[in-house]
Every structure is written in C-alpha cells, then in structure tokens.
Amino acid sequence: MTTLRAGLTSLIAVFLVNGAGGARIRAHDMESWPDFYFNVGPFSFGNKKKSVKQAEDAEQKVEDTVNKVLLGGLTFPAKKELKIVADKGSAIGGKGPAKDSPAVDSDADSFVDVNMICGGPQIWNMLTASSSVSGVQNIKWSKMDAVKDDYLEEQQLKVKGLEVELESLAALIAIKKAEQQIKYTSPEQAKQLIEAALGSESFGGLDIAQQSGCGSVYGGAIKAPRRAFRKSEGLFEAAATQFFNGGQFRLNGDGFLEACHELLPQENERSYCTQLCQRFKDTAQTLSASGVGETTGNLDELLNQEAAKNDELVQARSHISQCTKAWDGISLLRTHIVAMADNLDERFTILQNAEMDLDDAMWELTDLEEHLKEEEQVLNDAIQDLAAAGVETGKASTHLQEVM
C-alpha cells in the first residue's frame, strides 16, 4: 500500500468499520455478559469471533474503496500531484518500507514530497489531521478549498506575467535577428561620407583640409577658409542622415575612425584632424543608432532567457492542471466521506434505539426474574402448606381408625 493510500485508509476506516461495517458495542456489563456483542449492521447477536470476522471484512472494504475512489478516479498527473509513491515509511502510513510495495512508474524519480498538494502541505495536513470519527467529520473542507483557490490564482498570475515577458523577449529577439541582417559601413563608404563634408562649401577639398590641419589656426601649412571646420560638421550630418536613413547600414565605429585618420592624419599637436574625425564619428553613431534602433543583449542570451521562461510557463500551467485534477480526486473523496458521515448518523440513531430497546428488554427480563422468584416463593409456600395439610390429614385418618 502506498503512503497516500495508507493515510487515507485511516480516514475512511472510521466510517466503514463504525458505520457500514457495524458499530460494535457491549450490549450489557462485560462481567455479566463476557462474550455477548451487539452488531448494528444486520441486527444480529453473536460472539467475539463473529465480530472479528466482520471487522476483517470491513477492512477489506476499506482497501477496495480506496482503490476505487482515489486511485481509480484520478488520471496520472493527478496521482503525480498527490505524490502517490512507494512506501518508504511515514508517520501516517507506518514505520519502515512496505515489503510488498507495488512497482512505481518509470518517472517516479520526478516525484517529490508525498505531502505536497497544490503547492504545499497544508491540504494534506488538514486532510490527515485526525483519524477519529469526530476529526474526519470536521475536516476543514472550506479552508482546503481556499488554499487551493489561492494557489491556482497565484499560478494563473504567474502564467500571465510569463506570457507578457515572453512577448517582450520575442520583440527583442526579432530586433536582434533583424540587426544581424544589417550591413556595417565599409571603409570606402566612410571615406565617401567624410569627403562629402570637405567640399567647396567648407574646406574646398580634401587636399586643403589635409594641409590646413583640418582648419587649425596655427597647426597647418596653409590657411583653410574661415569656419571650414564647423561648416564641415553640418555637411557631414546632412550626408550621414541621408546615408543611414532606412536602417540598411549600421556604423562600424572603429573602421570609421581608421578611415578618417587615414584621410586626415594628425600631423602635429595643433592639428584639428583628430577632433574633426571624432565629431564625424559621434554624429554618424547617433544617426546609425536612430536608423537601426537600440539593441538589448546578445541574441544567444535572449534565446536562452526565452527558453527558460517557456519552461517556467509550461511548469506553471502543469501545476494548475495537476492541482485541479488532484482537487477533483479530493472532492470525490469528500463526497464519499460526507455520504458515510450521513450513513453513520443514521446508524448511530439505529444504535441508540437498539440500545434503548435492549435496555428495556433487560429491565423486563429483570422484572420477569423477580416475578419468577415471587412465584417460586408462593409455590414453595403452597408446597409447605400442602405438606402441613398432609400431616394433619394423616393424623385425622389415624384418629378416625382408632375411633372406629
């Protein structure tokens, strides 16, 4: 017998032995009637051996009921939620492993604690709090139902939260995958953007920009047109805006700086070329990011997060299903216990009536015994009177003979 079956058998046994099996009581004082029992099932009188046989039959009925009500009415996930495992000893099912434990299903290793129903031991503890008649009659079904509802609500909220998280992750993953299709700027494209900013409206050409130290006041061999440095920034932004519009390209920042420094080398400390290249790069980076969109995390990391969240979602939904099925089994047990409790009440009334009838019969028997004793005394007195009358008759007969 499994631990669960052993525990729930103790609950049902009270009703089957005391209710359906018969509430065995001593009908009268044990000193006066040492082997006399009264059985409220078939309303028969018998002895101890017969009562023991009835008890054994009741225990077998317990086993059959447990198999039919609990195990037969549950699907495998519900059995798993109720943690029906082979006996390894428990405070409820007895000490030590069962010698004839049935084979356990192949995935029994995934079972955890036999006490865990709907996420915790509360329901099991309330279900097995007492195996007495009063204890079973007063199982806190409403409180157990509240525990179940709270757990299901918690899991349902968890499911909703995970679904929202998965939607967000899916959007990020889509963005990241789209990014992998985007081409990064080549050195040639970088040079084209830079040269577009060095034309007639600013420096007047690449050669002047190089010789003037990118418009340096004192760092160039020649003077560049006044404010050429600042004008080139606006021209570069216009060219880069057009280039990055549509998000087809993303800036290769390091490659851009290398290409720029190749076109506009820093000849001396007073040259502005390093600063100009950095400003071009910063502008291009901003426009590239706005055209393509910001990315979050590595794609592999996002995919791992998505897989983990999907596992959590499957587990939460499984918990809801298992809790619901386990509660269906407990509800079936509740129906049988309530029915047996009602049956016990009826049989208790029958028992009370039978005890009162038996008590009345015992009083009538006592009255009859006393009446018989009185009649016996009258009979004894009559016999004595008859004997005395016989003596007198004998004397009279003797006297009569003497007279005659």
Residue 404's CB: how many other CB atoms inside 10 A? 5
Residue 326 near residue 114 (C-beta atoms within 8 A): no
Question: What pLDDT is stored for residue 110 in this prediction?
Answer: 40
Place of tokens 């980076």: 285
Model confidence pLDDT, tens digit, residues 183-207 = 889 999 999 999 999 999 999 999 9
Residues 50 and 128 in one domain: yes
Residues 102 and 230 in one domain: no
Between CA 45 and CA 39 the distance in angstroms is 7
In single-letter form, the type of residue at position 139 comes to I
Between CA 147 and CA 41 the distance in angstroms is 38
61-to-6, 64, 86, 135, 346 alpha-carbon distances in Å: 14, 5, 22, 21, 20
pTM for the predicted model, two decimal places: 0.38
Between CA 344 and CA 351 the distance in angstroms is 10
- Share of residues in the chain with pLDDT > 90 (%): 32
**Residue 14 above 70 pLDDT?**
no
List the single range of 28-37, 276-285, 333-342, 357-366 with lowest mean pLDDT.
28-37
**Domain closes at, from 246, 264, 292:** 292
Residues 22 and 138 in one domain: yes
Q: How confident is the model at residue 223 (pLDDT cuts 50, 70, 90)?
A: very high
Residue 288 near residue 249 (C-beta atoms within 8 A): yes
Q: Would residue 107 count as lying in a domain?
A: yes
Residue 94 near residue 6 (C-beta atoms within 8 A): yes
β-sheet bridge partners, residue 183: 249
Q: How confident is the model at residue 282 (pLDDT cuts 50, 70, 90)?
A: very high
Residues 47 and 127 in one domain: yes
In single-letter form, the type of residue at position 351 comes to L
Non-local (6+) Cβ contacts of 208 within 8 A are: 198, 222, 224, 225, 228
Taking residues 100-112, report their average pLDDT: 39
Residues 128 and 43 in one domain: yes
Between CA 24 and CA 168 the distance in angstroms is 68
Residues 118 and 222 in one domain: no
**Residue 95 above 60 pLDDT?**
no
Residue 210 near residue 265 (C-beta atoms within 8 A): yes
Q: Would residue 319 count as lying in a domain?
A: no
